[in-house]
Amino acid sequence: PFFGSVLRRADCVRRCEEPRLGAASRHRAAEEVRADFQRRVPYSYLQRAYIQLNKLEEAANAAHTFFMANPEHMEIQQDIENYKTTAGKVTLIDREAKQHMEDYSAGVRHYDKEEYKLAVEFLERALKGYYSEDEDCQIMCEGPQRFEEHEYLEYKAGLYEAIADHYMQVLACKHDCVRELATRSGRISPIENFLPLHYDYLQFAYYRVGDYVKALECAKSYLLFHPDDEDVLENAAYYEGLLEGVMDPDTIKPRKEAKTLLQRHKLESHLLQVAAAGLGYAYTEPNYWNRYGARQDEHSVPSSISSEPEDGPRLSLAKKPMPKPDRELKEGGPLLYSDVQFVYNSQQLNGTQRVLLDNVISEEQCRELHRVASGIMLAGDGYRGKTSPHTPNERFEGATVLKALKYGYEGRVPLKSARLFYDISEKARRIVESYFMLNSTLYFSYTHLVCRTALSGQQERRNDLSHPIHADNCLLDPEANECWKEPPAYTFRDYSALLYMNADFEGGEFIFTEMDAKTVTASIKPKCGRMISFSSGGENPHGVKAVTKGQRCAVALWFTLDPLYRELERIQADEVIAMLDQEHLGPSEMDINPKDEL
């Protein structure tokens, strides 16, 4: 009976597919095609096609749709800014937006504005969409699978092994639908605690609109996922107290769909672990309901509800704990050098782990560095030769420490000046390590002497930035108010610093913003010897305003606490310096081609 059922089902699926979808070659895409669609590559082509047809609004939407899945793509980001300039006010539409995600984000926005009735409407719609998407995701997992553990041509499994192998692939896919539905387009990491958060927001929103039955129902639904959450346990008890005398609170049960999904999820987990133990699979159960993803009430809420008597039940509305940083954050340590002048700390710069210093280098050292820069910099250095990687209105040039030392040794620039670049970057590293009171060594991750030059004839009506708002070790997602610490971001970077060399240009202010990439929290005008340093994470989004006249130069420094990610060119530069410090060093002893080990 079992195999008869399987054969009938296969026959039915095949007979349904061809009349409705055509031959398999038309709807069963190759892995490469699937990957391109996952990355939204077709929208990059669509954008260019729409430009040729002079359909700017459609081109802008195609560019925006591509950018949402590829936020590190600077050229597309610049294209979008250009559309805004050319077409005026453009309402950008993500044509591949997940509707349940859009509804969830809208619900949270209304919740934050204390518009609880609208919050309920959108969050309920998001839940309905979520369960519908979950059903689709489960069905799609029953499609073709790749046997990741086996070479297909050498696959010698018997009947039951083959069935088990394929079923485990399907089951793992279905089990991961929870992660898939919680992940925004273009992201790798899901929104933590995504499904339970719907119920957490709803339980309080329903309370605020006076629907205590629904509030208790949602609180109990949330507790299915986190039965020991003290805040929600207190809230549920409070709602039960409000309903006493009106109805029996025990008759109010968690939502059926939440209970069903969780039961299925636990069973999937059990089967996968059984398979791992019995069939030799490598499987580790992820934490799908991480409670660090918690509702954060930004508005001020009293410790008790004012309409309740003083001795009545209290509603616990405290903020839930966020993940603790992997190190204790400190600042205010010694600056080590008597000539370095403290200007502003984090509080004065309206942020976290920020410091502004002056006189880190002298006027003479600035001039000497500038002379070195003019002799060693290459257009597009560090950006695969792209002369205008961030904006078409400026030329970007750069050089590394090792390149400076190589040019110095060859006599193309003064060796003393090349050595200065090395020495002042080490001085900056020591200051940052000391000021932020780090308990472990701070290593160079990348050191870059950079200049941005305004291009003549291209500065009128500019509304772009010299360097778009970003964070240094995560992918900034302003719409989600998140910064995703995942590739292609340089996730190993811990601290950053910019040491400025001149002030004889217009524009070019360094700015910090909120995570929305719009609200400026601090603006710094560069000048010789001034250094801004800060932690590299999502707490410090930053960018550079347009350089509209002249050339702006700085030493850009990124640091890491992980010795595995030390800058290779810096290690080579250290060896070069050690050799230069030896007496009677002959040219034959010095082989420092910067490409040798890269």
- The residues that are catalytic are 552
Report which residue type is found at 353. Q
> Contact, 355 vs 534, CB < 8 A?
yes
Distance CA 234, CA 211 (A): 17
> Contact, 466 vs 544, CB < 8 A?
yes
Mark out the alpha helices in 410-465 (DSSP H runs): 415-435
Distance CA 295, CA 466 (A): 36
Measured distance between the N- and C-terminal CA atoms of the chain, rounded to whole angstroms: 62
Tokens of 380: 């597009």
As a three-state string, the secondary structure of 247-311 is CCHHHCCCCHHHHHHHHHHHHHHHHHHHHHHHHCCCCCCCCCCCCCCCCCCCCCCCCCCCCCCCC
Tokens of 321: 């704990």
Tokens of 245: 């005398």
Cα 457 to Cα 411, 462, 551, distances in angstroms: 36, 11, 15
φ/ψ of 534, rounded to 5, equals: -165, 160
User: What letter does residue 517 receive in the DSSP assignment?
Assistant: S
Tokens of 542: 């930053």
β 475-477/510-513 pair status? unpaired
φ/ψ of 531, rounded to 5, equals: -135, 130
> Contact, 74 vs 390, CB < 8 A?
yes
Distance CA 219, CA 359 (A): 57
> Contact, 96 vs 185, CB < 8 A?
yes
Cα 498 to Cα 465, 467, 484, 567, distances in angstroms: 17, 13, 23, 17
Residue 196's nearest CA partner among 228, 159, 240 is 228
Helix (H, G, I), strand (E, B) or coil at 467: strand
Helix (H, G, I), strand (E, B) or coil at 178: helix
Beta carbons within 10 angstroms of residue 317's beta carbon: 16
Give every CB contact of residue 566 below 8 A, 6+ residues apart in sequence: 443, 444, 445, 560
Report which residue type is found at 320. K
